[in-house]
Amino acid sequence: MIPLKTRLSLLLLLGLDGAAALGAPLRFVGAEFPFILEYREGKPAGLAVSVIRDIAEHTGLDYTISIVPWARAQALVESGRADVLIGPYRTKEREARMTFMRWPLYIDTLSWYALKESRYTWSGKFSELGHLRLGVTRAWTLGQSYEASKRRLQIETADTMEQNFGKLALGRLDLVACNERTARFLVKRMQPRLEIQALKPPISHIGGYFAHPRAPVDADSLARFETALGELARSGRLQALSRLEGLDYPGPRTKWAEYLAGLS
């Protein structure tokens, strides 16, 4: 059997015709997101991998998974050189370039993080932050309210969240935007030089989704995958898989239409 990463590399080199020749697996790509998609023992692992594997076992869909830098992962899907982007937050700008599946893969709580000794506060209005140096990771979004306000803010971008927290620790930033799971991961990695607090209220509760090209190569397989993802969510199976990664996900009694409409 051809190794997983090698198969995806071949598909990207050969293009769409090559993908068809090799049996047209769904090509999933994403960046390293703690607990969602990361390398463990040299292989892709995390919630996304568990969900994809579970769906493949029940539907017979073939797939490949590759971890690449975030900006590149988005470009691969937008151009049709990969089939599914793992984990993007949904914004109007991204919806113009990609189609998002209805069901979120995971739910993040986004907050501003400051050093523990700082006295920064905010009430949820971006207009209050115009005088502060804000750290945001490149190619990330914090939701639609942020997108509408960011031109009036002093934003410094970094390639990774760890770089932003490093700047925060050195006093080069005042606040860093991050989700709770990544902050938890980085605090553990960067101890003892990183002691932070999350400002309340949260910036938003936001879903991370699977997204695919506007004109997909294999619409039927994507539809089968999305249907199976919905069944995982409604049955409580996705909640159980999330708990294995220390993550929260709504249970089977959720009023889904209302809940999904309320996500950023």
Taking only the tens of pLDDT, the chain with its 264 residues reads 334 443 334 333 334 333 433 458 999 999 999 999 999 999 999 999 999 999 999 999 999 999 999 989 999 999 999 999 999 988 888 999 999 999 999 999 999 999 999 999 999 999 999 999 999 998 777 877 888 899 999 999 998 889 999 999 999 999 999 999 999 888 888 876 778 999 999 998 889 999 999 999 999 999 999 999 999 999 999 999 999 999 999 999 999 999 988 886
**4-106+207-262: CATH number:** 3.40.190.10
Q: Can you state the angle between helices 180-190 and 161-169, rounded to 10 degrees? A: 60
Which long-range contacts does 48-52 make (Cβ < 8 Å, 24+ apart)? 48/86, 48/87, 48/105, 50/241, 50/244, 50/245, 51/105, 51/229, 51/232, 51/238, 51/241, 52/28
Domain ranges of the chain: 4-106+207-262, 109-205
Q: pTM score, two decimals?
A: 0.77
C-alpha 178/C-alpha 111 separation (Å) is: 6
Q: Do 4-106+207-262 and 109-205 fold alike per CATH? A: yes
CATH class name, domain 109-205: alpha beta
